[in-house]
Amino acid sequence: MVDHAQANGVFERKMRPISMARRVQGVFGRDWKIAYLFVLPMVLLMAGLIFWPFISAILMSTTTFNFQTGDTVQVGLRNYQRLYTNSDYLLSLSNTINFTFWSLSIKFVTGMTIAMILHSKLPWRNLLSAIMLLPWIVPEIVTALAWKSIYDPLFGGLNPILQGMGLIERPLGWLSDSNLALGSVIAVNVWKGIPFFTLLLLAGLKAIDTELYESAEVDGANAVQRFRYITLPGMRYVILVVLLLSFISTFNQFGLIFLMTGGGPSGATRLYSILAYEKAIGSLQYGPGSAIALSVAPLMAFLIYLLAKYMRHDERSAGVEKKRFNLGIGRFFGRLFGLVLDVLFWPFDMLNRGIERLGQSLRRRLTGSSERPVFKPQGRERMGIGVRILILLPLMAFVLFPFYWVLITSFKTTTQISQRQSIFWPSPPTLNQYQELIFGSPFLMWLGNSLLVAALSTIISVAIAALAAYALTRLKFLGAGLLTTAILITYLLPGTLIFIPLYQTLSDLGLINSYGALLTTYPTFLVPFATWVLIGYFRSIPVELEEAAMIDGASRLYAFLRITLPLAAPALLSVALFAFTNAWNEFLFAFVFITSESLRTLPIGLQSMVVGDILPWGELMAASLLTAIPVAVLYMYAQRFLVGGLTVGAVKG
């Protein structure tokens, strides 16, 4: 009996640790030990450099600085109350709304047009697609300087073209006239944003079953009706995501407008982000500046909620979501939106019907029958290709002209530029501008700084993103869903909302005006996107490969390093290219956090070459060309990986 009791005691003692381990696993998840190690860098990054600065911005927005006493005073919500009676703020908000509305509308229509043309039968389609995507990879500083040069009323190329066409009688100050400035910068934003719309809308078009179009055509639907009732419904998810992403980016635009106009003339292009910078950094009023930046936070929160809902869309629950949407208010807005589309497409439908009747009349006169086609199928196909090329040509000219202008200007002498000699061709070509730039300015030092910061930021960001994405797709642990949502929120959170508290945080840490300031802050916008793309890609890798390796005795870490990462090489290359190009092009953080000339990156260095109204156009264009070359070479080398990673992970993840 004693032996039996002792045996029971031993058995209970052996089972107690097992029960405790199972309880812990039941609470924290099966893989919690290794999962928390994998996501720890991501959690520290988000907590310390994204969420805490955002909270700091909220607290800071309730204060103001008293210059007489040198004290920071709590004012509650007074900073926000003052905004709605402040003429500068109201003007900046109006500018931001107009800038966003017109930019998005034009980018969507143009991007959809180009995507549909590139999706059709077209010679050299791959080459045309690559050309159309060029503006996306050009650094923001290059875009701003190129278009600023084109718009220049004395030395630019736009006025001579329009005068030669008889559209204007005298040169116009596109960026110095308050009536023209906002429209001019909208055109530049459209030029820069067309590739994003084209890329993702083209991916959406490829996902639509072609049999639907064939069936509709057999039933007598014309081109407008097929677009209205097949293309738009089939792409509604992609269109919504693209519009929301672009809205957030466009609404919070800073660098492009700041570099081109500085918010002028007379505040005509001052967006709310520029006003926040002027108030916080320029006037050292961190409280009112934070209030300006955070005044749009409710709108951003609503948009981020919508994006989080649709970007985490799961096809398995599509039926449930559709059922919910069709109930109550969802059904009402769905019908209202459909009615609006019907009204918008009615003129195009009538025009198409008129063209069809005209074609039938022409066929009746030429062939004696309204049903017999005038041209053979091969001829109709050639005519369709010709029409599509005619539509694409002016868009191609719009895309390529800034590149041509930068190239020819960089090979002109300063005399040729200033005296307007041979405006559209260097006569004779010279390398003087490149020699002056390389040997007479700190350009090589800025180039080295950009290479160092971009490369290190990329390595850090991709490493953190790969660990976190793997944990979120493969491991079971408490908080995985919450962390995935948090990553998406930080991915969508505009930098304009946190750069003010980040500046103060870096000042407290002694990192302002150092490489550390950029290496610490660049991952805040690189890691979330990279993680989101990798999550989508890791989900496409069969989990059975890792399970087989672990059955054979491999550890989870070994399976990650030796099996998953090699299979995810295309996605890793994609996010590395994205991270490098974004770090290479970044302007806002480098402009705010770096003041020393020896630490300037290329965007800030090139901006510093502009002194007042003195613009060395030849050197600036030479520098712009050399700045764009590294990114262009990387893009050409791995274009298919970049496009594949963005369309698979960013939208479908």
Distance of CA 372 to the CA centre of its chain: 49
Mean pLDDT, range 123-148, rounded to an integer: 83
Dihedrals φ, ψ of 68, to 5°?
A: -75, -45
Q: Would the pLDDT of 497 be above 80?
A: no
- For the chain, counts of helices (H) and of strands (E): 37, 2
Is residue 24 pLDDT above 70, yes or no? no
Which range in 118-132, 153-167, 303-317 is most confidently predicted, on average pLDDT?
A: 153-167
* Helix boundaries (H) for 29-157: 32-46, 52-60, 78-83, 87-119, 125-132, 134-137, 140-151
pLDDT, tens digit, for every residue of 297-308?
888 888 877 766
Phi, psi angles (nearest 5°) of residue 232: -65, -50
CA dist., res. 188 & res. 473, Å (int): 39
Which residue did the predictor score with more confidence, 262 or 349?
262
Q: How far apart are CA 233 and CA 218, in angstroms?
A: 19
Among 116-120, 154-158, 208-212, 485-489, name the one with the lowest average pLDDT: 485-489
pLDDT at residue 348, as a whole number: 56
Provide the 3-class DSSP secondary structure of residue 286: helix
Listing DSSP states for 315-371 in one string gives: GGGHHHHHHHHTSTHHHHHHHHHHHHHHHHHHHHHHHHHHHHHHHHHHHHHHHS-SS
Q: In angstroms, rounded to a whole number, what is the distance separating the alpha carbons of residues 512 and 35? A: 33
Strand 63-66 relative to strand 71-74, pairing? antiparallel
Would the pLDDT of 202 be above 80?
A: yes
Please work out, in degrees rounded to the nearest 5, the angle formed at the alpha carbon of residue 453 by the alpha carbons of 451 and 457. Answer: 115
* Geometric angle at alpha carbon 97, from 96 and 101, rounded to 5°: 120
d(CA 488, CA 531): 9
Provide the pLDDT for residue 326: 43
Q: What is the pLDDT of residue 314?
A: 44
Task: Mark 198-214 as b/e (b = at least 16 C-beta within 10 Å).
Answer: bbbbbbbbeebeeeebe
Q: Rounded to a whole number, what is the distance in angstroms from the first to the last CA of the chain?
A: 63
Q: Report the alpha-carbon angle 251-311-502, nearest 5.
A: 50
pTM summary value: 0.81
Task: Give the pLDDT confidence score for residue 381 in this predicted structure.
Answer: 66
Distance CA 177, CA 96 (A): 18
Least confident of 186-195, 234-243, 426-435: 234-243
pLDDT confidence of 652, banded at 50, 70, 90? Answer: very low
Higher pLDDT, 377 or 543: 543
Residue 415 has pLDDT above 90, yes or no: no
424: phi > 0 → left, psi -120 to 50 → alpha, else beta; which?
alpha
Segment (H or E) for 646: none
CA distance 653 to 647: 9
> Which of 84-93, 223-232, 351-360 has the largest mean confidence?
84-93
Judged on CB neighbours under 10 Å (0-12, 13-18, 19+), 43 is middle
Q: In the predicted model, is pLDDT for residue 638 greater than 90?
A: no
428: preceding bond cis by omega (within 30 degrees): yes
Strands (E), 483-590: none
What is the mean predicted confidence (pLDDT) over 467-476? 89
Q: For residue 339, which amino acid is it?
A: L
- Residue 267, by phi and psi: left (phi above 0), alpha (psi -120 to 50) or beta? left
Taking a C-beta distance cutoff of 8 angstroms, is the pair 588, 254 a contact? yes
Q: Per-residue pLDDT for 372 more than 60?
A: no
Contact 202, 119 (CB under 8 A): yes
Q: Closest by alpha carbon to 627, among 441, 357, 492, 497?
A: 441
If one compares 214 and 313, the residue with the highest pLDDT of the two is: 214
Q: What is the pLDDT of residue 575?
A: 86
pLDDT category, 358, cuts 50, 70, 90?
low
Q: Is the pLDDT of residue 151 over 90?
A: yes
Rg, C-alpha atoms of the chain: 29
Q: Is 66 helix (H, G, I), strand (E, B) or coil?
A: strand
- 123 — pLDDT class (breaks 50, 70, 90): confident
Which of the two residues, 320 and 277, has the higher pLDDT score?
277
CATH of domain 30-60+442-608: 1.10.3720.10
Render pLDDT for 385-404 as a digit per residue (tens, 0 to 9). Answer: 778 888 888 988 999 999 99
The predicted pLDDT at position 634 comes to: 72
Q: How many other CB atoms are found less than 10 A from the CB of residue 599?
A: 20
Residue 248's pLDDT band (boundaries 50, 70, 90)? confident
Percent of the chain having pLDDT more than 70? 81
> Average per-residue pLDDT in the chain?
81
The answer to whether 638 and 146 have CB atoms below 8 angstroms apart is no
**pLDDT digit string (tens) for 520-532?**
999 988 998 888 8
Q: Where are the domains positioned within the chain?
A: 30-60+442-608
**Overall size of the chain counted in residues:** 653
The pLDDT score that the predictor gives to residue 368 is: 57
Cα–Cα distances (Å) from 489 to 76, 253, 591, in that order, read 27, 18, 25
Quote the CA–CA distance of 23 and 27 in Å, as a whole number: 6
Residue 325: band (very low, low, confident or very high) from pLDDT cuts 50, 70, 90: very low
If we measure between CA atoms, which residue out of 268, 236, 301, 286 comes closest to residue 494? 301
208: region left, alpha or beta (phi > 0 left; psi from -120 to 50 alpha)? beta
What count of other Cβ atoms lies within 10 Å of the Cβ of residue 138?
24
Sign of the CA dihedral with 355 first, then 356, 361, and 363 last: positive
Angle between helices 297-311 and 236-251 (to 10 degrees): 150
Contact in structure between 291 and 304 (CB atoms under 8 Å)? no
Helix orientation angle between 52-60 and 286-294, rounded to the nearest 10 degrees: 110
So what's the pLDDT on residue 649?
Answer: 46
pLDDT at position 341 is 56
d(CA 645, CA 578): 10
Q: In this structure, which long-range contacts are made by residues 24-31, counting pairs with CB atoms below 8 Å and at least 24 apart in sequence?
A: 27/478, 28/477, 28/478, 29/475, 29/476, 29/477, 29/478, 29/480, 30/475, 30/476, 30/477, 31/471, 31/474, 31/475, 31/476, 31/477, 31/556
Question: Nearest Cα to 560, choosing from 534, 595, 528, 588?
Answer: 534
Q: Is the pLDDT of residue 377 over 80?
A: no
Q: What percent of the chain has pLDDT over 90?
A: 25
